[in-house]
Amino acid sequence: MRVKTGLSVIFLLAIAVGLYWLYPTLLYRVMEWQKSFNLSLSSALHALKAHEQQAGWTLVGISFLYGVFHAVGPGHGKVILSSYLSLENTAIKHAMKISLASALVQGLVAVSLVSVIVVVFTLSRQYFNLTLLWVERMSFALMLLFGLYWVYRAYQAQHKANVPKIQFRHFTPLQKNVQNRPLVTRSSLNISSSHDSCGCGHQHLPSQAELQKPQDWRTSLMLIFSIGIRPCSGAILVLFLAYTLDIYAWGMLSAMAMALGTGITLCLFALLVLGLRQKAVSLSRFYFSTKTNRRLLSIIQFGLGLLLVVMAILLLHSSFLTENVPNTFFKR
């Protein structure tokens, strides 16, 4: 058992060292790939204007690959997602849903913003940049609320752990020589886990799937919108160019393909985080007691929540400092 645990520790350390040394090189390569994908997107859009049916699906495929590689880079969304998956006991299926939904919300927000502000109301770039700035601020505000929620949960868990529990030292029955039998039996209540046997047409007890369903759906929605409410800059660029070339339908399809590619990368990232979490939990159970593990979890949750609060405040502050600076994609 100790040999297996030692190998697990070495494995985790090797992954951490490898990520530390290889991530800058990988990030540089991803940035180079993004530049080439940007040029390919622009070329495909101009080719689409001349040969719509031939170049349309090429644009969609390039947008999908752009979303896959774009999600590898750093961002506040991956910080929120990794923090959530590291702390919460999340099933793989639920983690995949959150990751994919966050990316798809990003695509829908980008399509909605450009469609309403530019296509429907034909407002200027200045109004669009201002709207985009306030949407980003909403994302940072949700990030702030998410961090405060985690800080509150960590404080609440620590407070419950410190409350003294009532212990019974001595118990005297009121009557002696009473037969040791239950007051209520299953046959007397006629309880059945299925409604087929009683014929009432109702479900008496929750099914196994309902018991495994995540209860805190508000946290999941807050997580999805805090990540996805900020649209992808690449999707906005594609939508603007498509609107300029009068091929906006292909632009919307390409933006959603880009969101799907981002979602696939986020799903792979979520699988990596869940795998590392499982290894860390197994190691902590071997070295520490249950009470110590709960206390450590509360401390980590408090620290990550505080980190999200600080990051959200800094991002909000920087957004107000750069309010008069135009967006790099839409300079006059």
Q: What is the pLDDT along the chain (332 residues), one digit of tens a residue?
A: 444 555 555 555 566 666 556 656 666 666 676 667 667 766 766 666 666 666 678 888 888 988 988 888 777 688 888 888 888 888 888 899 999 999 999 999 999 999 998 888 888 878 888 888 999 899 899 889 989 988 998 888 877 766 655 555 555 555 555 555 555 555 544 544 445 555 554 444 445 444 444 446 778 888 898 888 888 888 998 898 888 878 888 889 999 999 999 999 999 999 998 988 888 888 877 777 777 888 888 888 899 899 999 999 998 888 888 655 444 444 43
Count up the domains in the chain and report the number. Answer: 1
Please give the pLDDT value at position 96. 92
DSSP assignment letter at 164: P
Q: Considering the chain, what percentage of its residues have pLDDT values greater than 70?
A: 64
- DSSP of 248-262, one letter per residue? HHHHHHHHHHHHHHH
Task: Note whether residue 55 is domain-resident.
Answer: yes
Note whether residue 204 is domain-resident.
no
DSSP 198: T
Interhelix angle 290-321/125-162, rounded to 10 degrees, is 160
| Alpha-carbon span 63 to 37, nearest angstrom | 8
Q: What is the pTM of this model?
A: 0.68
Q: Is residue 173 part of a domain?
A: no
Q: Is residue 199 part of a domain?
A: no
pLDDT at 64: 93
Determine the structural domain holding residue 35 and report its residue range. 2-162+214-321
Asked whether residue 179 is assigned to any structural domain, the reply reads: no
Angle subtended at Cα 103 by Cα 102 and Cα 107, rounded to the nearest 5 degrees: 115
Distance CA 272, CA 268 (A): 6
- 12-21 contact pairs (CB < 8 A, 24+): 12/276, 12/279, 12/280, 12/283, 15/276
Q: What are phi and psi of 230, to 5 degrees?
A: -90, 115
pLDDT at residue 121 in the model: 83
> Residue 190: inside a domain, yes or no?
no
Those residues whose C-beta lies under 8 Å from the C-beta of residue 196, and which sit 6 or more positions away, are none
Which tokens go with 97?
């849903």
pLDDT of residue 293: 81
Q: What is the pLDDT of residue 202?
A: 47
Is 188 a member of any domain?
no
Q: Does the residue 140 lie in any domain?
A: yes
